[in-house]
Chains A and B, each alone.
Chain A
Amino acid sequence: GNSVTQMEGPVTLSEEAFLTINCTYTATGYPSLFWYVQYPGEGLQLLLKATKADDKGSNKGFEATYRKETTSFHLEKGSVQVSDSAVYFCALSGGYNKLIFGAGTRLAVHP
């Protein structure tokens, strides 16, 4: 069945550090891939997405590239800010907006 595996947290970084959160997936067919972010006390928000192989999703300085050969969709940001502190979820959709989520990675950025 479909599944998503992402690196365990928490990830603790200093402001302006480089961020990578690894995500790999198992799926039949060609799913769409997503990164969602959950800020403290808020609901999930779509951060970025990619719908086919080699697509790069980007938003707010974050980016991730859909790599079919390695079944990965790693999230990166060149310079994190304190306001990026949140829980990040990698997810895939096999269709009909039915999402399968990874376990989530908590990011804490310190000044």
Chain B
Amino acid sequence: KNEVEQSPQNLTAQEGEFITINCSYSVGISALHWLQQHPGGGIVSLFMLSSGKKKHGRLIATINIQEKHSSLHITASQLSDSASYICVVRSGTYKYIFGTGTRLKVLA
């Protein structure tokens, strides 16, 4: 069993839909990151969370430390949101464990 698991692995949505990507982890963490990677592109860190909720534009990230679970929500999805979304947990001083990733495709 992976220490960091995401669901779903693949997701297709219609433009305008509300999207949720989930991340569950089994290790103790000091922080959790949500990253975005476009095909052939580099990685952009969307959020870093240690508790609660953060919002940036149409993106919302939440974390429940007790349940060891985080969600990434995209409201009013757009074609440009098509990318891979990666959950990364920081476990230990400088050890980062990457989730399996969720490939999102938004259709017109």
Asked if A and B bind, the verdict is: no
A residues neighboring B (CB under 8 Å): none
B residues neighboring A (CB under 8 Å): none
